[in-house]
Amino acid sequence: MCGIAGWLELGGEVIPEGGEVLRRMCHRLFHRGPDSEGYWSDGKVFLGMRRLSIIDLHTGDQPVFSENDQVVAIMNGEIYNFLDLRENLERQGHRFSKKCDTEVLPHLYEEFGDGMLQLLNGMFAFALWDRIRQRLLIGRDRFGEKPLYYGVFDKKLIFASEPKALLSHPSVIKELDLQSLRYYLSFDYVPAPFSIYKNIKKLPASHFLLVENGEIKIIRYWNPSYVPKAEISLEEASEELSYLLTDSIRMRLISDVPLGVLLSGGIDSSTVAALASLKGKIKTFSISFKEESFDESHYARLVAKHLGTEHYEECLDVDKTCNLVSSISKWLDEPLSDGSLIPTYLLSSFVRQHVKVALGGDGGDEIFAGYPMYFGHRLAKIYEKLPSLIKKSVIGPLVYSLPVSTRNLSFDYKAKRFVSASEYDLVARHHLWFGSFSLKEQELLLNKDILQHTDGDIYEIARQSLKDCDAIEEIEKMQFLDMKFYLAEDILAKVDRASMAVSLEVRAPMLDWRIQEFVARLPLKYKLRNGSGKVILKKAMKKYLPAEILNRPKKGFGMPIARWLNGSLRDLVDDLLNPARLKRQGLFNEQFVQRLIEEHRSGKASHHKQIWTLLIFQLWFDEFLSKG
């Protein structure tokens, strides 16, 4: 695992003094790779990296080269099938000087060119320079586990693993993108290809960037297909899935340093722990909450005992957690208002005391239809058919009169979200269930000048993405969008930033492209049936996990933010969202924000998602836009 940075002089000029700038960029990525560093430049191309040593500890430094030094490459991440790729390349006459996975990149490029990305099974973001053909190839993995930001400034294509590295380049201009602000307020994150910074973009997952003859192209190299459906029994499908999961975990257990498993007690992480345990005794790690509605630790202990793992658990300290909130922006250089970011960081910090690599269960909900919203769309179809008078005069008033609860995913919270989003189309409804501010709320929140100069149809970006999806079922279309949006830009970004902040590598066995392609082609009833998701995963894991784990309701990994905003975080809210400050900033309507805060504190409504989203933005704004 690493952090990478660099740039290409698009005008062809030779810049001999660029080395110091490159080192400064990589220094901002020290947390991603504290073990070593590496640099290469010919005065026109600059490549740098920071390394977290996982495989080939002593000779695996980067950059890496082809035998004739024609091709040079740097990479952040892991290529899990590198041993098979290396063996095939050696048969074709290629010779290797190291044992690390990165070294297969220049050799694959020599054999397959841009088609090399189709052969990679892993999480990665890499940059490769062909010195003879003068081509720059930058690639990102299929799901977006590893980040890559880039921008064109002063005739330079500048790129890095994190925006903070780009921002340390003197050519990069730091400016808020107002359209991206609107995306953030709706989605809780900024979706690719955009970033919160004007003129800095994210390379989307499953895409590569190619610079040749002064032209920049962004090309997609992978997209899952949902049709035609496989003609296979559930029994046969579960056996095939079991094999694919086992093989994926086998590949992700390759490491020259100690590793463990992040165990929440949910079926996804329990699956990873169970199949990893087949290879020998493993270490598992979980975090507990004092508030019962947020705590899953007893499930984690149950699984650990069942599997006989060496289990470690840490209880979340409220004061420590709330103190951490104010410093979150130092390692979060784009706003991300997922409430589970904090416990993910604390868990990563705890795990890093014991191991350098951890396996997690991310991706299971998107692949196997585990989110309650998928079934919610079926309920929405029924709700749509009810007479308008009943919805407006009976159901609406009844739902909005429900007492406000601060419990995790309480009934009143879900019911109010369901009803408020029911008037929108499928795509908007789906993301309104996930996100913070509705389009109507944005009209009340944002400065009128921002509203006039930005596109108000926030969800059109998701509708456009659906043009690349061949699924027929609406629920599978939403799974596709969740893979492209929520998984890539929220879940995986959260895990990457939180774990890399403490130099922990997290691997996701569920995110093997073979699993995604296999499950996508299965009948929907193998994933979602009678309101319950993950049908095939539960069947495949029946012989490995207790029924209590397989049949437990989904809880989610979050924090009691609603209560903390009125308690330990109250002063921070008053400081960052006070009316005078907001008025000077000129982005938000201070009266509307005050109304949200007052209604939340009085118990009239729970606006914790909206307030938290604004709070995280303000922390980011102070750290990255107000300074310098």
pLDDT in tens, 213-258: 989 999 999 999 999 999 999 999 999 999 999 999 999 998 878 8
The predicted pLDDT at position 555 comes to 66
The predicted pLDDT at position 377 comes to 87
Q: Are residues 191 and 255 in the same domain?
A: no
The predicted pLDDT at position 59 comes to 55
Query: Could you list the residue range(s) of the whole structural domain that residue 160 is in?
Result: 2-220
- Using left for φ > 0, alpha for ψ between -120 and 50, and beta otherwise, residue 90 falls in alpha
Q: Are residues 158 and 20 in the same domain?
A: yes
- Report the alpha-carbon distance of residue 510 to residue 174 in Å, rounded: 36
Rounded to the nearest 5 percent, the helix, strand and coil shares of the chain are 45, 15, 35
558 contact partners, CB below 8 Å, separation of at least 6: 294, 339, 340, 343, 408, 409
Domain final position from 220, 251, 285: 220
- Report the alpha-carbon distance of residue 513 to residue 586 in Å, rounded: 45
The predicted pLDDT at position 97 comes to 83
CATH number of domain containing 357: 3.40.50.620
- Residue 348 belongs to a domain: yes
Q: How many residues does the chain have?
A: 628
Radius of gyration of the chain (CA): 24
In angstroms, the Cα distances linking 583 to 4, 138, 176, 454 are: 39, 42, 17, 20
- Residue 612 belongs to a domain: no
Q: Are residues 216 and 273 in the same domain?
A: no
Cis peptide before 193 (omega within 30 of 0): yes
104: three-class secondary structure by DSSP? helix
The predicted pLDDT at position 409 comes to 62
CATH number of domain containing 129: 3.60.20.10
619 contact partners, CB below 8 Å, separation of at least 6: 325, 326, 328, 329, 335, 576
The predicted pLDDT at position 137 comes to 99
CB hemisphere CA count around 104 (13 angstroms): 25
Q: Are residues 159 and 43 in the same domain?
A: yes
The number of beta carbons lying within 10 Å of the beta carbon of residue 223 is: 13
The predicted pLDDT at position 99 comes to 83
For the record, the structure tokens of 383 come out as 């709700």
Bridge partners, residue 3, by sequence = 50
DSSP string, 382-433: HHHTS-HHHIIIIIHHHHHTSPP--STT-HHHHHHHHHHHTTS-HHHHHHHH
- Residue 452 belongs to a domain: no
- Residue 378 belongs to a domain: no
- Residue 150 belongs to a domain: yes
Q: Are residues 135 and 238 in the same domain?
A: no
Domain final position from 186, 220, 254: 220
Low-confidence ranges of the chain (pLDDT < 70): 1, 53-60, 293, 399-402, 404-410, 555-558, 627-628
Q: Are residues 99 and 179 in the same domain?
A: yes
Amino acid identity of residue 15, one-letter, is I
- Report the alpha-carbon distance of residue 41 to residue 135 in Å, rounded: 14
The predicted pLDDT at position 325 comes to 87
Q: What is the DSSP letter of 321?
A: H
The predicted pLDDT at position 626 comes to 80
235: three-class secondary structure by DSSP? helix
For the record, the structure tokens of 157 come out as 């294509």
Q: Are residues 202 and 283 in the same domain?
A: no
Q: Are residues 252 and 348 in the same domain?
A: yes
The predicted pLDDT at position 2 comes to 82
The predicted pLDDT at position 57 comes to 55
The predicted pLDDT at position 253 comes to 93
525: three-class secondary structure by DSSP? helix
Q: Are residues 160 and 27 in the same domain?
A: yes
Q: What is the pTM of this model?
A: 0.94
- Residue 613 belongs to a domain: no
66-118 residue pLDDT tens: 999 999 999 999 999 999 999 999 999 998 888 889 999 999 999 999 999 99
Sheet holding 207-212, edge to edge: 64-65, 71-79, 122-130, 135-140, 207-212, 215-220
Contact between 272 and 359 (Cβ < 8 Å): yes
Q: Are residues 214 and 240 in the same domain?
A: no
Amino acid identity of residue 573, one-letter, is V
Q: Are residues 255 and 211 in the same domain?
A: no
For the record, the structure tokens of 350 come out as 């705890």
- Residue 60 belongs to a domain: yes
- Tally of domains in the chain: 2
Domain final position from 509, 532, 550: 550
- Report the alpha-carbon distance of residue 181 to residue 473 in Å, rounded: 32
**Strands of 419-545, DSSP E:** 505-507
Q: Are residues 172 and 260 in the same domain?
A: no
- Residue 523 belongs to a domain: yes
